[in-house]
Amino acid sequence: MTKFIINDQIVDQDKAFVYVSDLALLRAYGIFDFFRTDGLQPVFFEDHIDRFFRSANIMRLKCPVDKENLKSLILDLISQNKIENSGVRLVLTGGESPDGYTIGNPKLIVSNEPIKPLPEEHFSKGIKLISHEYLRDIPEVKTINYLMGIYNMPKIKANGAVDQLYHWKGKISELTRSNFFVVDENNKIITAANRILKGVNRKYVLQIAKQKFEVEERDIYMEELVQAKEAFITGTTKMIMPVHQIDDIVIGNGKPGSVTKDLQITFSEFIAQHLQSHR
């Protein structure tokens, strides 16, 4: 039976639960983080744990386990479950509330789950997105509120798209679960700087991109998409994924561009080196 972490204990799946009065259930108040493993080795482990605690602090949620003990528990969980190339999801709830509105004692839940590989053509040919005007609440925090992303899934699928690109008052921010980049005619890489969740993969892609290309973090406007030479997204399972169309706008020639392809190769090599150095 698959093991979970509940607060400071590793338990069987049938012992993992939240109370019906938990604010995560009643008000969608809580935070989470998610990282993948390569084999049984966590990828960018420290970064995800740091972001988890940063999100908890902003949301006024105290984790029942400190950072070092949580890391040890997670490594033990991965070792016990033995699910290779898996995902690890950390959730911190708002806690059992006495009145359905006040923060209680937050509950920590950590699951370890298989990851279904994304279609290879998403990486080799790119994906289509639709746009949607929306600004997430407290966008710099990875909250459990994914209402708009889930609600719009039928619309996304009906348009032959994979996800939606959020924008607000003309400014592009992010996708439901990914960061967004464009490449201009001079091979400059541009990504939003404000009102976004700054992803862990985004951080490292920017780091390696700056070694080869000019990079700019600034506001991106919807009207810039028609001039974009390339576009791509980054995320835990998506790594670097090309975007060939947004709504009716074909990006560049409708195929993954040279900058995106270069970064895909370089980023894969970077991850391999990172994992080797952390064994």
pLDDT digits (tens, 9 = 90+) for 212-269: 999 999 999 999 999 999 999 999 999 999 999 999 999 999 999 999 999 999 999 9
How far is the C-alpha of 184 from the C-alpha of 117, rounded, in Å?
30
Which of 151, 153, 171 has the alpha carbon at shortest distance from 161?
A: 153
pLDDT of residue 136: 93
Domain ranges of the chain: 3-114, 120-275
Query: Do 248 and 227 touch, CB atoms closer than 8 A?
Result: no
Structure confidence at residue 278 as a pLDDT band (50, 70, 90): confident
What pLDDT does 279 receive?
81
Question: Tell me: the pLDDT tens digits for 47-82?
Answer: 999 999 999 999 999 999 999 999 999 999 999 999
CATH code of domain 120-275? 3.20.10.10
Give CATH for domain 3-114. Answer: 3.30.470.10
Quick: pLDDT tens for 17-35: 999 999 999 999 999 999 9
Mean pLDDT, rounded, of the chain: 97
